[in-house]
Chains A and B, each alone.
Chain A
Amino acid sequence: MSITAETAQAHANDPAVLCCRAEAGITIEAANLEDPAIFDDLVDSGLLTLDGALTIGQVLGAKLTKTCDSLCPLTADVLEGVKEAAKPAALESAKTEETPAPAPVAQVAGGTASGVLKIHIGEGKDIDLEIPVGALGGGTAVAEIPAGAATGVAGATAQVPAEEKVVRTLTKKHFTITEVKRGPETKIEGTTLYIREGIEKDCIDNQELVHDFKIEIITPDLYHTYSETVMDVQPIATKEGDAELGSGVTRTLDGVVMMLTGTDDDGVQIGEFGSSEGYLDENIMWGRPGAPDKGEIFIKAQATIQAKTNMERRGPLAAHTAFDIVTQEIRLALKELDESLVTSTEEFKQVRRPGKKKVVIVKEIMGQGAMHDNLVLPVEPIGVLGAHPNVDLGNVPVVVSPLEVLDGCIHALTCIGPASKEMSRHYWREPLVLEALHDTEIDLCGVVFVGSPQINAEKFYVSKRVGYTVEAMDVDGAFVTTEGFGNNHIDFASHIEQIGMRGIPVVGMSFCAVQGALVVGNKYMTHMVDNNKSEAGIENEVLACNTLCTEDALRAIAMLKANMSGEDVKAAEKKWNPNVKSTNLELISNVTGEKITLVDNEQSLPMSKKRKEKYS
Chain B
Amino acid sequence: MKYGDKIIRMEGVIVEVHEGAVGIDLKGRLGFLKIPLRMLITDYPIKVGQEVAWNMSFPEQLSPDVNEHYVAGIDNRRQKEMQMSNQKQEVE
Contacts and interface: CB of A to CB of B under 8 A. Distances in A.
Interface of A: 226, 263, 265-269, 272-273, 277-278, 282, 311-313, 366, 368-372, 415-416, 452, 454-457, 484, 486-488, 490, 519, 607-608, 610-611, 613-614
Contact of A610 (B21, B41, B69, B73): B69
Contacts of B92: none
A608 B81 contact: no
B69 A311 contact: no
B80 A370 contact: no
B68 A369 contact: no
B68 A372 contact: no
A311 B36 CA distance: 9
A67 B53 CA distance: 42
Contacts of A484: 38
Contacts of B80: 263, 267
Nearest to A313: B19
Interface stretch (B7-15, B24-32, B59-67): B59-67
A614 B62 contact: yes
Contacts of A607: 69
Given A486-B39, A487-B40, A608-B68, A267 B20 contact: no
Contact of B38 (A268, A269, A368, A608): A368
Contacts, number: 98
A610 B65 contact: yes
A486 B41 CA distance: 8
A309 to B, nearest CB: 9
Cβ-closest 6 pairs across A and B: A370-B20, A486-B38, A370-B19, A267-B81, A267-B80, A311-B20
B42 A456 contact: yes
Nearest to A314: B19
A370 B17 CA distance: 12
Given A311-B21, A457-B43, A614-B62, A608 B67 contact: yes
Contact of A372 (B37, B67, B77): B37
A313 B18 CA distance: 10
Contact of A368 (B37, B63, B85): B37
A312 to B, nearest CB: 4
B40 to A, nearest CB: 7
A456 B39 contact: no
Nearest to B21: A311
Contact of A312 (B20, B43, B62): B20
Contacts of A455: 42-45
A268 B80 CA distance: 9
Nearest to A369: B19
Main secondary structure of the interface of A (DSSP, over half): loop
A366 B38 contact: yes
A273 B39 CA distance: 11
A482 B5 CA distance: 29
Contacts of A226: 76
B56 interface: no
Given A486-B39, A610-B65, A610-B67, A370 B77 contact: no
B43 A456 contact: yes
Interface string B63-92: 101111100110011001101110010000
B11 to A, nearest CB: 19
A311 B19 contact: yes
Nearest to A458: B42
Given A267-B77, A312-B20, A614-B62, 5 more contacts: A265-B88, A267-B84, A273-B36, A277-B76, A486-B39
Contacts of B20: 272, 311-312, 368-372, 415
Given A265-B88, A273-B35, A519 B18 contact: no
B41 A487 contact: yes
Contacts of A366: 38
Given A312-B19, A607-B69, A490 B84 contact: no
B92 to A, nearest CB: 13
Given A272-B20, A273-B36, A366-B38, A613 B65 contact: yes
B19 to A, nearest CB: 4
A278 B81 contact: no
Contact of A369 (B37, B40, B43, B85): B37
Contacts of A488: 38
A356 B76 CA distance: 56
Contacts of A454: 37-38, 42, 46
Contacts of B41: 456, 487, 490, 519
A456 B43 CA distance: 5
B19 A267 contact: no
Nearest to B39: A486
19 contacts: A266-B81, A267-B77, A267-B81, A267-B83, A278-B69, A278-B72, A311-B18, A368-B37, A370-B21, A372-B37, A415-B20, A452-B38, A457-B43, A486-B36, A519-B41, A607-B69, A608-B69, A610-B68, A613-B63
A285 to B, nearest CB: 16
Nearest to B70: A611
B50 to A, nearest CB: 13
A41 to B, nearest CB: 11
A267 B62 CA distance: 29
B38 to A, nearest CB: 4
B72 to A, nearest CB: 7
A203 B63 CA distance: 46
A372 to B, nearest CB: 7
A611 B67 contact: yes
Contacts of B45: 455
Contacts of B43: 455-457
A486 B83 CA distance: 35
Contact of A487 (B21, B38, B66, B83): B38
Contacts of B65: 610, 613
A369 B42 CA distance: 14
